[in-house]
Amino acid sequence: MFFKQVRRNAAKNRKGNGLFFGSLVIAIIAFYTLLSLGGQDVMRYLATVESDAVAKLMALLPVVYVVSLFFVLFLVYFACKYQADSRRREFGMYLMLGMKRSRLFAMLFCETLWSSAVSLLIGLPVALLLTEGISLATARIVGLGIIGHHFSFSLYGIFWTVWGFILVQLLSMLVICIGLGKAEPADLLRSGDAEKQTVSSGAKSTVLFAAGLGFLLIAYYLGMTRMRTLSLYVLLAVVLCGILGTFLLYRGLGGFLGLRIRRKSPHALGLQTFTARQVQENVLSQHKSLAVSSLLLMMALACISYGISMGIGRSADSRSVDFSLFGTEEQIDAVLEKEGIREMVEDAYPLYLSMIKREYFRGEEKAFDTSKLLEAIGTVEGFGDMVENIIENLHIEYVIAQSSYNRILKNLGKEEISLSGRQAAIYTSVAKDGDFGRILEKALDRNTSVGIDGTDYEILPALYYDNVVADRAITLYMALIVPDELFAELARESKAYCRNVRLSDELVDEMGLMQAVQKMDAQLADTGMRYDSYLGGIGRNLFYTVAASYLSIYLGVLFWLIANTVIGLKYLIGQRQTRHRYETLTMLGADIRTMCRSVKKQIEIYFSLVLSVALVSSAAAIFTMFTSFTKLPMGVPISAVAMLSAAALTVFAVIEILYISVVRRAADREICGIEITDRR
C-alpha cells in the first residue's frame, strides 16, 4: 500500500508539473555533461598530446562539479518546493488522519527516490545524446571535424551523476521536510497563503532604490575605468558594490513600483491595476530571489561571452604544413626515403628561415633601415595608442626565402608571391584580422620600403600570415620575405631551418587527418628524429579552447538555466498561492481570456525586471573583462566576436521566449482550472 501510494504520487507529480520534472532532467544533463568531459573526442585526443595539461584540467573538474552541485541544489530545491507547496493540504490531511510525521517524511523521501530513478532513466540517455552532440560540435568548431568520432560512454560520469543528483534531491527534500516538520496540520490545511501585502514606505523604498542604482553605477564605473590596475581592492569594491547594488535595487523596486501604481490606478482599465500589484507583490516578497537570479544571469552572460571569444581566439587555422622535421639534410632524406613514410608524403621542402646577420643591426651606415615603414605606420589613424605601441616595439629580425614561402602558398592553393629584385614582403603570424594586422595593412598601402645596405626595397602592399612551420604555438612576430639571393646575403644561417612535410591528400581523405597524422607520427617516433606536427601544435591551442571556453560556457549555461528556473518557479509558486484571487476576479466579471492576458503580462514584466538589470550589468561586466584583465587574443577579429555574440544573444532571446512561454502555459493551465471548478 505504502509503495503503491509512493509510485502513484510520484507519477502524479511528474504528469502535473512539467517544469518540475524538466528541472530534474536539466540537473542530470548538467552533471553528466561536465563529468563525461574526459571521454569526449577532443579531450581524448588532447590526452595523447598534452597529458600534463589534461591531467590538470581533470583535477579541476571535481571543483567545478562541487560548484555545479551547489547551484543545481538551488534548482532542485525550488522545483521540489514548488511541488511540495502545491501538496500542503494533502500533507495536512495525512497528519489529521493520523499519519506519523516520520512516515510522511519516509513517503516523501521514497517519492523523491522514485522520481530520481525515473528522471535518471529519461535524463541519462538525453545527456548521452547531448554530450555526443557537444563532442562532435566542439571537434568541428576547433577544426577537428575530420577526426574519426568515437561514441563515448563514461561510467565514471554516470556514477557521479547518479550520486550527485540523488544527493541534491535528498538534501532539497530534507530542507523541505524540516519546514514541514515545524508546520501544524492546521497551517498545512490552510494551504500556503501569499504573504500579506504591506504598505512599504515610499520614501524608504525610493532611498533604497536610488542607493542600489548608485552602487551599481559605482561598480560599473570602477570596473570600466579602474580594473586595469588589477588591484585586489578594486576587484573587491566592484564585486561588493555590484552585489549590494543589485540587492538594494530589487529591495527598493517594490515600493517604487507601488508609487507608480498609485499614480496610474485612477486611470486603469481592466486588470491593469491588479496586474501591476501582482508584479509588485512578487517583487516585494521575492526581492532576494530576483537579485540572485539577476546576478546569476549576469554571470551566465559574462561566462558565455568569455567562452565564445576564447573559443574563436584559439580556433584552428588552415593546414599549411603537417610536419616540420629538424636535422641535417642527410638525416631527413634518410627518414623521408624510408618505406612506410615515403608513400605518405605529398610534398617535402626545406624552409629557409633565419635571423638577420648581426652586422645589420650595429647602427653603422643605417644597414637595416625601417624608418620609412615606421613613418608609414605613424600616419595610420583611428587606432589610438596601438599605433605608438607598434612603432615602439616593431623589429624585424627574421628573413624567409621567397621560394620556401611560395611552396607553403602553393600547398594551400594560394597565389604565389612574385618579387622583383628590389621588392620584399612582410610576414607575421600574430595578427590575422586583428588591429595589429589592420594597422600594418594600412601602412603597407602607402607604398613604403625598408632600406638594406643603402638600397630601398619596396614592400608589397599585401601582408602574409600563413604558418611557416607545423607548430602553431611558435609565433613569428614579424619577418621579411625576400628573394632567395637576398636571403643568402642577409641570413645568419645558410642552412634550412627545417624540412616541411605535407601529407598525401589521398591518405588524409581516406583515413581522416588525425589518424593519418598519428600514423606518420608513429613512424617518425621510431626514427628518433626531432619533429613537430600540425595536430601536436593545435593540441596546445585546443587545450586552451577546452579549458577556458568549454568550462566557462558550461558554467554560463548552468547559471542561465538555474536563474530562469528559479524565476519561473518563484512566479508559479506565487500564482498558486494567490489562486483564490483569480476565483474572486471571475466573480467580479473577469473572463478567462482577460485573466490569461494579465498573467502573460505579469510573467513578461517579472522576467524583464530580472533580465534588464542582468543585461545592463553583463554589458558592463563584458566590457570590463575585455578591456581590463583579459584581452581578446591577438588576431581575433572584433567583428567575428560581435557577430557570434549577436548570434548568441539571439539564441539567448529565443530560449528566454521559450522559457517564458513554458511558464505562461503552466500559469494558464492554473487559470483555466478555475473555470472548470467554476462551471462544473
Partner 1 sequence: MDIQNKILQVESLTKIYGKGDNRTEALKGISFDVLEGEFLGIMGASGSGKTTLLNCIATMLKPSSGKVILRGQNISGFRGGALADYRGREIGYLFQEFELLDNLTARENIALPLSLHGVTAKKAESDIESLAAMLDITGVLDKFPGQMSGGQKQRVAAARALISDPAILLADEPTGALDSKNSKKLMDMLSEINRKQQKTIMMVTHDANAASYCSRILFIQDGCIFHELRRNVLTESTAAFYDRIVTVMAQLGGGSANVF
Q: Which residues bind partner 1 (CB under 8 A)?
A: 194, 196-199, 265-274, 277-278, 280-281, 578, 580-581, 583-591, 594, 678-680
Burial label for 515, CB within 10 Å (0-12, 13-18, 19+), is: middle
CB-wise, 4 or 680, nearer to partner 1?
A: 680
Assess contact for 411 and 352: CB atoms under 8 A: no
CB-wise, 273 or 403, nearer to partner 1?
A: 273
The strand pairing partners of 12, in sequence order, are none
User: In sequence order, what are the residues at sequence separation of 6 or more whose Cβ sits closer than 8 angstroms to the Cβ of residue 128?
Assistant: 32, 153
| CB 8 to partner 1: min, Å | 22
> Rounded distance, CA 446 to CA 462, Å?
11
CB-wise, 100 or 262, nearer to partner 1?
A: 262
CB-wise, 107 or 271, nearer to partner 1?
A: 271
Quickly list DSSP for 299-354.
HHHHHHHHHHHHHHHT-------SEEEES-HHHHHHHHHSTTTGGGEEEEEEE-EE
Range 478-510 burial, b when 16+ CB lie within 10 A, else e:
bbbbbbeebbeebbeeeebbbbbbbbbeebbee
| CB 284 to partner 1: min, Å | 9
| CB 180 to partner 1: min, Å | 24
| CB 584 to partner 1: min, Å | 4
| CB 591 to partner 1: min, Å | 4
CB-wise, 1 or 676, nearer to partner 1?
A: 676
Containing 427, the helix (H) or strand (E) segment is strand 423-427
Of 658, 670, 644, residue with least CA distance to 561: 658
CB-wise, 15 or 679, nearer to partner 1?
A: 679
Assess contact for 517 and 346: CB atoms under 8 A: no
CB-wise, 190 or 395, nearer to partner 1?
A: 190
Quickly list DSSP for 351-408.
E-EEEBPGGGGS-STTSEE-HHHHHHHHT--SSTHHHHHHHHH----EEEEHHHHHHH
Retrieve residue 266's grid coordinates: 485612477
Residue type, 322: D
Of 480, 379, 463, 371, residue with least CA distance to 423: 480
| CB 206 to partner 1: min, Å | 18
CB-wise, 279 or 295, nearer to partner 1?
A: 279
| CB 576 to partner 1: min, Å | 15
Taken in order 661, 88, 164, 1, the sign of the CA dihedral is negative
| CB 90 to partner 1: min, Å | 22
| CB 272 to partner 1: min, Å | 7
> Rounded distance, CA 443 to CA 434, Å?
14
CB-wise, 261 or 634, nearer to partner 1?
A: 261
CB-wise, 15 or 593, nearer to partner 1?
A: 593
CB-wise, 97 or 676, nearer to partner 1?
A: 676
| CB 611 to partner 1: min, Å | 23
Query: Pairing relation of β-strands 455-464 and 449-452?
Result: antiparallel
DSSP character at residue 491: B
DSSP character at residue 417: P
User: In sequence order, what are the residues at sequence separation of 6 or more whose Cβ sits closer than 8 angstroms to the Cβ of residue 531?
Assistant: 323, 324, 325, 326, 470, 524
Provide the 10 A C-beta neighbour count for residue 368: 21
DSSP character at residue 416: P
| CB 266 to partner 1: min, Å | 4
